[in-house]
Amino acid sequence: MLPVVDRPLIQWTVEEAAAAGFEHFIFVTAAHKTSIAAHFSPTPDLHAHLTASGKTDLADLLSAGLPPGAQVKQVIQDQPRGLGHAIWCARDAIDDEPFAVVLTDDLVRAPTPCLAQMMQAYAAQGGNLVAVEPVPAHETDRYGVIAPGTQNDNLLEITALVEKPAPQDAPSNLAVIGRYILQPEIFDKLAAFKTGAGGEIQLTDAIADLIGHVPTHGLRFDGDRYDCGQPLGFLAANMAYALDTSNTDDKQDLLQMMRQVVEKFS
């Protein structure tokens, strides 16, 4: 729910998914995190008030980026047992269909939204598909890292996948970021509740276990990723999105303010 410019992170990623054609949204949260469900709940009185006041831009934000007729469901993860466990908690809501996973702390700014790029590749390739990008070699222990096989343009076959490897053990510097398109067979692996790095149930491990049974690829997407789970990444995202969404006059004012701050502290 941290805001980037004028809307929370989760709304930016819902808008990305909606632009890729998704209409069914499942939010996996802890029981005490009620703000997410509240944010995506209708507020007709406030919408009417803002519209009557001529504040249509603010009224439009109240839709929270959901497409017309969107289906929204909240699923509770009762214990913080890792990303794989969070996905497993949503198994009944997914109903044995392929699905996408979007981690909202990874914000991707791109001319064509990252998930839309993935859907284009998935339409041609099928199987399990993850978004990947190069990371500094000393940071591989923060990510799932792929061993790449055959490459076709920006699509890479994945021959192995390792969660949080030490730099000397990493099969490459190509890291998985928070965008996945997965087959429902993943739930058979997650149901084993096998723990991995950090003692958690890792989604990466389940994807790796399906290599050789389900075609598995990584997409080197076009765009800039901001790790909003880190303070510097969150700050950079706000700067980039503020400049990207500003009109020409506001952008020049904003750039001038940024230059003044940089000059003062450099």
pLDDT grade for 147, boundaries at 50, 70 and 90: very high
| Residue 47: predicted pLDDT | 81
Q: Supply the pLDDT for residue 64.
A: 74
Please enumerate in sequence order all residues whose Cβ is within 8 A of that of 89, keeping only pairs 6 or more positions apart, or say none.
Answer: 28, 75, 76, 77, 78
Q: Using CA atoms, how far apart are residues 178 and 115, in angstroms rounded to an integer?
A: 10
Residue 60 confidence class, pLDDT cut points 50, 70, 90? confident
Q: What is the pLDDT of residues 153-179, one digit of tens each?
A: 999 999 999 999 999 999 999 999 999
Q: Is the pLDDT of residue 108 over 80?
A: yes
State how far Cα 51 lies from the chain centre: 31
> pLDDT at position 257, please?
93
pLDDT value of residue 94: 94
pLDDT at 68: 86
pLDDT category at 56 given cuts 50, 70, 90 is: confident
- Write down the mean pLDDT value for the chain: 93
Backbone angles phi, psi at 104, to 5 degrees: -75, -10
What is the rounded CA–CA span in Å between residue 224 and residue 266? 25
Q: pLDDT at residue 180 above 90? A: yes
How many angstroms separate the Cα of 106 from the Cα of each of 24, 177, 184, 233? 20, 7, 23, 9
pLDDT tens for residues 11-55? Answer: 999 999 999 999 999 999 998 888 888 888 878 888 888 888 888
3-class state of residue 155 by DSSP: strand
Q: Report CA-CA distances (Å) from 209 to 4, 161, 168.
A: 36, 9, 22
Q: Is 27 left (phi over 0), alpha (psi -120 to 50) or beta?
A: beta
pLDDT in tens, 183-236: 999 999 999 999 988 899 999 999 999 999 999 999 999 999 999 999 999 999
* pLDDT, tens digit, 9 for 90 and up, residues 61-74: 777 788 888 999 99
Q: Decide if 55 contacts 44 (C-beta within 8 A).
A: no
- Per-residue pLDDT, 59: 78
Q: Given a cut of 90, is residue 10 above it in pLDDT? A: yes
- Put simply, whether the predicted model's pTM sits higher than 0.85 gets the answer yes
How does residue 242 score in pLDDT terms, banded at 50, 70 and 90?
A: very high
Domain 3-229 belongs in CATH node 3.90.550.10: yes
Q: Note the pLDDT of residue 27.
A: 95
